[in-house]
Amino acid sequence: MGLRPLADELLAEYFRLSPVHATEIGIHDHDGLWPDLTDAGLEERSRFLHSALERIDRLDSEALSRDDAIDRSVLRSYLDADLFATEVLDEPAWSPMTYVYLAGNGLFTLLAREFAPRADRLASAASRMRALPALLDQARARLTATRRGEHGSGSAREVSRFHTEKAIETMPGVADLARTAASEAQELDDEESMHVVQTAARSAVEAVDAYVEWLRDELLPHATGDFRLGRNLHDHKFRHFLKTEITPDQLAERAQAGFDEVRAEMVALARRLWPQWMGSEPMPDDDGAAVRGVLDAIALQHPAAEDLLDYCRDENARIEAFVRERDLVGLAEEPMQIIWTPPFLRAFGGAMLIPPGPLDRGLDSFFAITPMPDDWTDEQRESRLREDNNRQLRLLTIHEAVPGHYLQLAYSNRCPSTVRAVFQSGVFAEGWAVYITQVMMDVGYGADDPALMLVHLKFYLRSITNVLIDIGIHAGEMNEHEAMRLMVEGGFQEQSEAANKWDRARLSSTQLCEYYLGAVEMTDLEHEARRRAEAAGAPFVYRPFLESVLAHGSPPMPVIRDILFG
């Protein structure tokens, strides 16, 4: 059997076992189902992954075309990472947040993506809502297995107290999605179908409420586990999930050097800008105070909280005009909406791009901005608005929309390789968004506003501190005081932004490394392209280079380097 028929067979089985993931990428054969999280279901998944890897390894590498060899490498690396996640990392056994994301994504995608008529999508949502009580029973069993001494094949970690607290806080967002489904069902022409959806939604809401009560009253008192992965597990997850040849220690060393370099640039620029922004106020001798003084003055220029979406919509139109004028890269026609972040995803804070599935052609992307919690004080709200000031929002719109995540994923979804379309590298995607923001600055975006460059350097410094806190927390013993000091005093972040990042760094692991690692590797690709153009006596032109990077899905960085340069 060649790669193509084998890949098709393996992907069909992989997505049968991962029905929510299937819905997300645009395979809709399993839209009414949840994965089987029982011991039998986990054993079936492990058997499949072992068998799939063995079958891939038996392929005759010499007989594969170049494209097939690339797809084989991508397919194998992702299935191997899934095996690690299933048998070693085993997050469902110790992180209740696993079930927030699973249940939330399982319903949100059906409600938000118009890949089929509303009646069909709501029928699938009803099926999942009816089965939600059983899924949450499986969650209870998995999360109490360690306490019962039933470790299974996983890591036997104690349930993380912090992840439990955050699940209690965010799981009600899943009930909100069920209520949304019930509300949308009122638009159906068929009264029986409406009744089916609304009945399923009521049972889902009751199940979520009972599960949250269980988390709070029964699991939390016994959740004594640490949020830290520990060096060994972090090192393995780093290698499996980021698919890079660099080690965490090497990345941390490079990040520390980058931190010092970018901070020095900020000091020099802030001292030049001081008279413009601070008037006659004496410039402090302390470098950090000088940078903070100018940034604080810049941060006073921000929209009102209720105007954040409109500000980003207007700025996105201006950015697209700039990209067209400079002929930097071809723009996409796929639709994008700028919305408030769905409640179940708000634990991560900030902003995010929620794209359509790679196999759902032409559907909306969502540039989502997280609103401020209702219980925030005026001081917290103002701190967040200072962080998301006018200039920061301009950069954030580049990063999340054009020519950042939205544009990159629009290109990625056109990739003819199904393997590369459905298995997407976070290092590629996040690295592109950081890298292309620097490219925009290099070609003159905001050149008439030096203050924008200072905020850009702060934004880039954030990607560097992301690395230092992720590795410091999960492969070390970095505490809250040390992390906050690094972000606020070292990286000039606002207190509220840093507090959200401290939470995010504890909830996730390795993901915060993707931004800087990917940007560094994207920059290395550009340097190689420039070197080759110079050797050939030709000028380096951004558009063909950038579009060549975007034309192959979102593969791991070693793969795109191999595609471009052999």
pLDDT one-digit tens code per residue, 456-474: 999 999 999 999 999 999 9
Contact 395, 455 (CB under 8 A): yes
Residues 6 or more apart whose Cβ sits within 8 Å of residue 130: 200, 203, 204
Task: Inform me whether the pLDDT recorded for 161 exceeds 80.
Answer: yes
- pLDDT confidence tier of residue 495, bands split at 50, 70 and 90: confident
Nearest to 131 by CA among 265, 218, 37: 37
The Cα–Cα gap between 396 and 319 comes to 11
The pLDDT value given to residue 155: 57
CB atoms within 10 A of CB 153: 14
Nearest to 193 by CA among 255, 304, 119: 119
Tell me whether residue 265 is exposed, middle or buried, using C-beta atoms within 10 angstroms of its C-beta: 0 to 12, 13 to 18, 19 or more.
middle
The dihedral through the CA atoms of 358, 363, 369, 375 has a sign that is negative
The pLDDT value given to residue 363: 87
The SS3 assignment for 515 reads helix
The pLDDT value given to residue 34: 98
**47-61, 109-123, 325-339, 355-369, range with the lowest pLDDT:** 355-369
Report residue 208 as tokens.
């979520």
- pLDDT confidence tier of residue 349, bands split at 50, 70 and 90: low
The pLDDT value given to residue 454: 98
Q: Mind giving me the DSSP string for 116-139?
A: S-HHHHHHHHHHHHHHHHHHHHHH
Phi-psi sector, 496: left (phi>0), alpha (psi -120 to 50), beta = alpha
Dihedral over alpha carbons 58, 62, 68, 73 (to 10 degrees) = 60
The Cα–Cα gap between 299 and 392 comes to 9
Task: Inform me whether the pLDDT recorded for 152 exceeds 70.
Answer: no
Average pLDDT, the chain: 95
3-class secondary structure for 472-512?
A: HHHCCCCCHHHHHHHHHHHCCCCHHHHHHHHHHHHHCCCHH
The pLDDT value given to residue 497: 85
The pLDDT value given to residue 205: 98
- pLDDT confidence tier of residue 150, bands split at 50, 70 and 90: low
pLDDT one-digit tens code per residue, 225-269: 999 999 999 999 999 999 998 999 999 999 999 999 999 999 999
**Of all residues in the chain, what percent carry a pLDDT higher than 70?**
97
Report residue 340 as tokens.
């408030």
Q: Cα separations (Å) of 40 from 45, 146, 401? A: 9, 17, 42
Report residue 286 as tokens.
């302390």
3-class secondary structure for 312-347?
A: HHHHHHHHHHHHHHHCCCCCCCCCEEEEECCHHHHH
Contact 168, 220 (CB under 8 A): yes
- pLDDT confidence tier of residue 431, bands split at 50, 70 and 90: very high
Task: Inform me whether the pLDDT recorded for 347 exceeds 90.
Answer: no
Q: What average pLDDT does range 434-463 have in this prediction?
A: 97
- pLDDT confidence tier of residue 344, bands split at 50, 70 and 90: low
The pLDDT value given to residue 490: 96
**Residue 83, strand partner residues:** none
Task: Inform me whether the pLDDT recorded for 151 exceeds 60.
Answer: no
Report residue 7 as tokens.
């890949």
The pLDDT value given to residue 146: 64
Task: Inform me whether the pLDDT recorded for 435 exceeds 70.
Answer: yes
pLDDT one-digit tens code per residue, 369-386: 999 988 999 998 998 899
- Sort strands 365-369 and 351-354 into parallel, antiparallel or unpaired: antiparallel
Domain limits, the chain: 3-229, 248-565
Task: Inform me whether the pLDDT recorded for 223 exceeds 60.
Answer: yes
The Cα–Cα gap between 452 and 79 comes to 42
Q: What average pLDDT does range 146-166 have in this prediction?
A: 76
The dihedral through the CA atoms of 78, 435, 355, 168 has a sign that is positive
Task: Inform me whether the pLDDT recorded for 566 exceeds 90.
Answer: no
Contact 459, 392 (CB under 8 A): yes
Report residue 527 as tokens.
């340097």
Q: What average pLDDT does range 275-281 have in this prediction?
A: 97
Task: Inform me whether the pLDDT recorded for 271 exceeds 70.
Answer: yes
